[in-house]
Structure formats: structure tokens, C-alpha cells
Amino acid sequence: MCITIKKALPGRAGSEGLSIIYRIHFRYINEYSMPDYFEIDRLIEDLAKIYSTACATTWFKMTENKRPTKEEFRKKVVEFMKHFEYTLSTYPKSKEGDQFRQYVNNNLKIEIEKVLEGNNKEVERRYKYYIDYS
């Protein structure tokens, strides 16, 4: 986020006004921005698709349940998604580590809600495939 000031500030020369913009931007970056967690963001987005649906499908095969309901399938996917919480607990216990865990847990909760509401296309597709071809 960058705050831009279009007009010159009263009583300030143009370069001083520009200096304020840089100071505001620098302060924001240092105090309020989060580090870039691109890799973790992608992992959380794909956790259900890559890991949890495969585990859930295998679990249903092992229990010989060829016709779980959508809700059962979704809940099992979520159960496996929550395993990631253990991984998060292994990150350093520090201010940065706590902020990281909070950030990732918030994103994980959002993805879990998508699964439970039926709004994750990959989970729904894997469910349909399992029901149709098992």
C-alpha cells in the first residue's frame, strides 16, 4: 500500500512533500506489512487438492466406503487439511513465528470453509470421480 499525495502540502516545497510520501511509505512497509509468504499461500490454496483429497479417497477405499455423502467426504478432507496445523506448530516461537502462524491459520480457515461449503472445485471434482469410478 502506498499513499500518494496529489497536491503540494501547504508550506512545503515540492521536494519536501515528496519526502513525506517516502517517509509514510517507508514507515508503512516497516511497521504494517507482512513478509511475502507466496509459497505457503500456494500450498494452502492447493492443500485440499493435492494432499487432503488423496488421503480422504484412500481412507474411504480402506474402509470400503464406496458411497460417502458429500458432507462425509468434505469433512474427511478437512480432517486431513487440519494436519497442517502440526507443521505450523514446528515454526520458531518468536514474534515473527507467531505472526506467521496467525497469518497461515487464517488462510487455512478460509480454505476449510470453502471445502465445507462445497466451494472448492477440486474437492467436488474428486468426490464425483470417486463416486462414479470406485
**Sole residue written with cell 506489512:** 33
Residue 115 to residues 31, 43, 81, 93, 106: CA-CA distances in angstroms? 34, 15, 10, 30, 15
Same domain, 107 and 79: yes
Helix extents (H) in the chain: 14-32, 38-47, 53-62, 70-81, 84-89, 95-116, 121-133
The size of the chain, in residues, is: 134
Same domain, 86 and 128: yes
Same domain, 69 and 93: yes
What's the pLDDT at 2?
44
Same domain, 8 and 70: no
Of the pLDDT bands very low, low, confident and very high (cuts 50, 70, 90), residue 110 is very high
Whole-model pTM above 0.85?
Answer: no
Condensed to tens digits (0 to 9), the pLDDT of residues 33-92 reads 567 899 999 999 999 999 999 999 999 999 999 999 999 999 999 999 999 999 999 999
Same domain, 9 and 60: no
Same domain, 2 and 68: no
Same domain, 70 and 29: no
Same domain, 16 and 53: no
CA distance 11 to 100: 42
Same domain, 26 and 75: no
Condensed to tens digits (0 to 9), the pLDDT of residues 3-36 reads 444 444 444 444 455 566 656 655 555 555 567 8
What's the pLDDT at 17?
56
Number of domains within the chain: 2
Same domain, 29 and 53: no
Angle at alpha carbon of residue 94, lines to 44 and 82, rounded to 5°:
30
Question: Is residue 95 over pLDDT 70?
Answer: yes
Domain that holds residue 27: 1-33
Taking alpha carbons only, the member of 84, 77, 64, 69 closest to residue 134 is: 64
